[in-house]
Copies of this chain bind each other. A is one copy, B any other.
Amino acid sequence: MLSVNVWTTRRWSLPEAVAGYVARGIGGIGVWREKVAEIGLDAAVKLIADSGLTVTSLCRAGFFTGASAAADNQRAVDEAAALGARTLVLVAGGLPAGSKDLGAARDMVLEGVAALAPYAASRGVGLSIEPLHPMFCADRAVVSTLAQALDMCDEIGAPNVGVCVDTYHVWWDPSVYEQIARAAGRIQIFQVCDFLVPIPAETLLGRGHVGDGVADVPALARAVVSAGYDGPVEVEIFNSDVWDTPGDETLRILLDRHARYLEGIIP
């Protein structure tokens, strides 16, 4: 199933996104909490339920290295449960202010996920640890590789804790194919977009439509499918040019790229 993350059509409100995706025959929606907050959780739940869209992810919780993340993360779990989201995506958080102790920060993440897991399980919510590209290690996510995320899953040992595989973040990794195979049964969501070169000044926004960058997205998709993944492919693009494009035009391009690069691989 093809899903679109609402941040891809960032200028759209949640109702506009839902209407736009349904009109294009897209089956899934990746939701951001900010978009839910704009209309309220109850309205969001009803809107999406009425639309027939599958909520393929809720973005995001985590930031375990910051102050008092725990209460907000429980609220995120509640929202994921209410929305029936396939998974709640966890972004680890960067180094605590003033610290250079990556090991300690990584321990905080491990403890944070482990502490959140039982509550999430009690609400029927899956948690997916998302490794982010190493250029975001200091300020956003001290979880930088799929191997590291899977090591955390192993250590936590909770059946509702898995990983998010996002092609943009993992494509460069020399061990990515080995680690995707290892991740069998634990990939809660597969997100795609391309890695643009050169990297833009705003490093977070170097995500492009599949085919516009250097990542071998079809190869990664085949690997995920080989690992037994039969879930949705969710397109998540942060890119100021894409955001400045009318949402429906973005969907047209995105559907074209999906047909060209992924349709035969991810059903």
Contact = CB atoms under 8 A, between A and B. Distances in A.
Interface of A: 95, 100-102, 106, 133-135, 137-139, 144-145, 147-148, 151, 171-175, 195, 197-199, 201, 203, 214-216, 219
A143 to B, nearest CB: 8
B195 A199 contact: no
A135 B133 contact: yes
A216 B101 contact: yes
B199 A135 contact: yes
Nearest to A216: B100
Q: How many copies does the complex hold?
A: 2
24 contacts: A100-B215, A101-B216, A102-B172, A102-B216, A106-B174, A133-B134, A134-B172, A135-B135, A135-B199, A137-B172, A138-B172, A138-B195, A138-B197, A138-B214, A139-B197, A139-B198, A144-B172, A144-B173, A144-B174, A145-B174, A148-B174, A151-B174, A198-B203, A201-B201
A147 to B, nearest CB: 7
Contacts of A215: 100
A96 to B, nearest CB: 11
A139 B135 CA distance: 15
Contacts of A201: 201
A137 B215 CA distance: 10
B135 A147 contact: no
B195 A174 contact: no
Contacts of A139: 197-198
A95 B173 CA distance: 14
A144 B137 CA distance: 15
A151 B178 CA distance: 15
A241 to B, nearest CB: 16
A173 B173 CA distance: 11
A199 B201 CA distance: 8
